[in-house]
Amino acid sequence: MNKTDSTYEERQEWRQRCILSNDSFMMGLPKIELHVHIEGTMSADLRWRLSVRNGISLTAGSDKTPLSSLEEVREAYKHIRGRIGAAAADAKTNMTFYEAYYGGFDLLQTEGDYYDLAMGYFERASQMQVRYCEPFFDPQGHTRRGIPSDVMMRGFKRAQDEAESRLKARTMIKSQWIMCILRDLSPESAMAQYEAMLLYKSMVVGIGLDSDEFQQPPSLFQAVFKRARADGFKLTTHCDFNQKNTHEHILQVAKSLGGNGAERIDHGMNAADHPELMQIIREKGIGMTICPCAYIRHTSEYEVFPRIRKLFDAGIQVTIASDDSAYMEDNWIFHNLYLVREKCEFTNGDLISLQRNAVSICWTDRETKIAILDELATFEKNGYSS
Binding site for ligand HPA (CB under 6 A): 37, 40, 84, 101, 210-211, 238, 240, 323-324
Which of residues 115 and 136 has its CB atom nearest to Zn ion in the complex? Answer: 136
| Span from 179-187, 253-261, 321-329, 356-364 in contact with Zn ion (CB under 5 A) | 321-329
CB-CB contact of 268 with 239 (8 Å)? yes
Q: Which does 240 bind (CB under 5 to 8 A by kind): Zn ion, ligand HPA, none?
A: ligand HPA
Residue nearest to Zn ion (CB): 323
Identify any residues that bridge with 264 across adjacent strands, giving them in sequence order: 236, 287
Secondary structure (3-state) at 342: helix
Q: Residue 336 contacts by C-beta under 8 Å, 6 or more apart in sequence?
A: 291, 292, 293, 320, 321, 322
Which of residues 267 and 341 has its CB atom nearest to ligand HPA in the complex? Answer: 267
Which of residues 33 and 323 has its CB atom nearest to Zn ion in the complex? Answer: 323
Whole-angstrom Cα distance, residue 338 to residue 243? 26
| Residue 266 Cβ vs ligand HPA, minimum distance, rounded to whole Å | 7
| 323 is a contact residue toward Zn ion (CB under 5 A) | yes
| Residue 85 Cβ vs ligand HPA, minimum distance, rounded to whole Å | 7
Whole-angstrom Cα distance, residue 323 to residue 160? 19
Neighbours of 192 (CB within 10 A): 15
Which of residues 34 and 351 has its CB atom nearest to Zn ion in the complex? Answer: 34
CB-CB contact of 272 with 304 (8 Å)? no
Dihedral-angle region of residue 211 (phi above 0 means left; psi in -120 to 50 means alpha; beta otherwise): left
| 134 is a contact residue toward Zn ion (CB under 5 A) | no
| Residue 101 Cβ vs ligand HPA, minimum distance, rounded to whole Å | 6
Whole-angstrom Cα distance, residue 215 to residue 372? 40
Which of residues 126 and 322 has its CB atom nearest to ligand HPA in the complex? Answer: 322
Dihedral-angle region of residue 330 (phi above 0 means left; psi in -120 to 50 means alpha; beta otherwise): left
| Span from 67-75, 106-114, 221-229, 319-327 in contact with Zn ion (CB under 5 A) | 319-327
Q: Which does 40 bind (CB under 5 to 8 A by kind): Zn ion, ligand HPA, none?
A: ligand HPA
Q: Which does 84 bind (CB under 5 to 8 A by kind): Zn ion, ligand HPA, none?
A: ligand HPA
Q: Which does 211 bind (CB under 5 to 8 A by kind): ligand HPA, Zn ion, none?
A: ligand HPA
Residues in the chain: 386
Q: Which residues bind Zn ion (CB under 5 A)?
A: 323
